Structure 1
Amino acid sequence: MTTNTPKKPEGSTILRRGEPRSEQAYKHIIDGINTGTLPPGTRVTEADLAERTGLSRTPVREALNRLQLEGIVVNDPNRGTIITELDHSMMSELYAMREVLEGTAAGLAARHASEVEIGFLREINERDATLQNTTDLVNNNKLFHSTLYRCAHNRYLLKMLHSLQESMMLLGRSTLATPERAEAARLEHAEIIDALEKRDAQAAEALARKHIREAFKIRLKSTFENPTST
């Protein structure tokens, strides 16, 4: 005798043993922002998210409350709960914090990163020259930065940087989609790695800060040329 197992809604979250359901709902929303299926300004409701994930409303509500505390979603008077849209001021504040934190991470990495870790950073960066697809470049860039963060060997800084990265998702399209930026970023990464190899913490921090400022310039240029995008 066989029984039919009810199918879960299309696009639903696969339940993972031992992981809290609120965490699964949280990850579903974060993944949606990352992939562009939940872009900034999108209205999100408990009912819709529960249907999408196959979870009950309670864990979805908990996930939305957590995201609201983190500034990833906000309550709009006219639209209800939406994925946060960054205005110019918020974007400037975000890049200012990124410059401070990533600069600090680079400085600490110059002091604490092992030779193997620095070698891995160079390997990641050199891979950029072989990549043509923007998605591959973006993923490789994320790997470079997350590795640099870990090279700082400071758990509290790492936690703050991971939180910052979640807010960076709200910016939408990567600056690496701009042709000239991809090559410039690779060269800037190489300079940071050179400073790490020389154990020059001051230079590493200065170069990392410059790298973020250059990315911000491209972001501003894109925003001014296309006011409908962030």
Structure 2
Amino acid sequence: MTLTTVVNNLTLADQVLTKVQEDIVNGDIAPGTKISESALASKYGVSRGPLREAISRLESRGLIERAPNVGARVVSLSHKELIELYQIRENLEGLACRLAAENMTEDEIEQLQALLQKHQQDQDFKDGTSYYKQQGDLDFHYCIIHGSKNRKLIHLLCEELYHLILMYRHQFSAISTTNISSHPEKAFVHHQRIVEAIADRDGELAEMLMKKHIQRSRKAVETYFDQLTAGEA
């Protein structure tokens, strides 16, 4: 089925954007892949017009970059860029957590608690192989960011950086056994404590817990790359 047969309220460019973005985030279009408009147009069954619009929007989201003498290509994992991204997340998601503790309604907090229960029932989590990997409203971090009720923060983290973060998360968890995602029970406990702090309206504690949670992942990334470098020496 081509994208043109999908019936919904999205424009064709939106549909193309969603599919290409999903394929990049999941690694179906690998990092560093040169973007061929003709190949993608054929793959998705669309004309080049909506495809070009989608590529332009993906470029603004940091998933596609343009290089001299190369043209458009999918961004590649970089140690430095990944660490910088985690540094941004530590501070901005920490702030989002503080604001969520102040601004989330009781119903929203109950929904967040229900979300964790859903995560706990996921089969991969029960098997101890990975933490629940869903996007948008089923993503713990995404929900807390929206719970901050800060529009600028939501735009920055959930629109400009969100899919770049997802791509790095997916790519890194696929190659590293030291990432926090390799220890789903630890990640779940961290999430539980964060929700408890939000429910208690303790913004300071919620912020600290979120920053430490993300900091653990950053340190795991640093450890992985240090080991990789040592192995190549």
Q: 1:214 to 1:108 in 2, by over 3 A?
A: same
The aligned runs of 1:126-141 (5 Å cut-off) are 126-133=117-124, 134=129, 137-139=132-134
The 1-side partners of 2:10 and 2:120 are apart by 38
Amino acid of the structure 2 residue aligned with 1:139: Q
Equivalent residue number for residue 93 of structure 2: 102
Equivalent residue number for residue 162 of structure 2: 165
> Contact (CA 8 Å) 2:98, 2:203: kept in 1 or not?
yes
> Contact (CA 8 Å) 2:194, 2:209: kept in 1 or not?
yes
Q: 1:107 to 1:60 in 2, by over 3 A?
A: same
Count of aligned positions = 217
Q: Structure 2 unaligned segments of length 5 or more: list them.
A: 174-178
Equivalent residue number for residue 38 of structure 1: 29
> Contact (CA 8 Å) 2:93, 2:145: kept in 1 or not?
yes
Equivalent residue number for residue 48 of structure 2: 57
Q: 1:124 to 1:94 in 2, by over 3 A?
A: same
SS in structure 2 at match of 1:85: coil
Q: How far is the alpha carbon of 1:90 from its aligned partner?
A: 0.9
Match 2:140 to one of 134, 139, 144: 144
TM-score when normalising by structure 1: 0.83
Q: CA RMSD in A?
A: 2.5
> Contact (CA 8 Å) 1:128, 1:140: kept in 2 or not?
no
Q: How far is the alpha carbon of 1:66 from its aligned partner?
A: 2.0
Amino acid of the structure 1 residue aligned with 2:51: V
> Contact (CA 8 Å) 1:72, 1:167: kept in 2 or not?
yes
The 1-side partners of 2:213 and 2:61 are apart by 26
The 2-side partners of 1:13 and 1:97 are apart by 38
> Contact (CA 8 Å) 1:41, 1:84: kept in 2 or not?
yes
The 2-side partners of 1:155 and 1:115 are apart by 20
Q: How far is the alpha carbon of 1:219 from its aligned partner?
A: 2.5
Match 2:194 to one of 192, 195, 205: 192
The 1-side partners of 2:78 and 2:191 are apart by 28
My pick for the range that moved more, 55-64 or 122-131, is: 122-131
Q: 1:185 to 1:112 in 2, by over 3 A?
A: same
Q: Structure 1 unaligned segments of length 5 or more: list them.
A: 1-7
Q: 1:136 to 1:197 in 2, by over 3 A?
A: closer
Among the aligned pairs, what percent are the same residue? 30
Q: 1:23 to 1:129 in 2, by over 3 A?
A: closer
Q: Note if 1:118 corresponds to 2:109.
A: yes
Amino acid of the structure 1 residue aligned with 2:149: H
Q: How far is the alpha carbon of 1:226 from its aligned partner?
A: 4.7
Question: More relative contact order in 1 or in 2 (CA 8 Å, sep 6+)?
Answer: 2
TM-score when normalising by structure 2: 0.82
Match 2:185 to one of 178, 183, 186: 183
SS in structure 1 at match of 2:65: strand
The 2-side partners of 1:50 and 1:62 are apart by 12
Q: 1:220 to 1:198 in 2, by over 3 A?
A: same
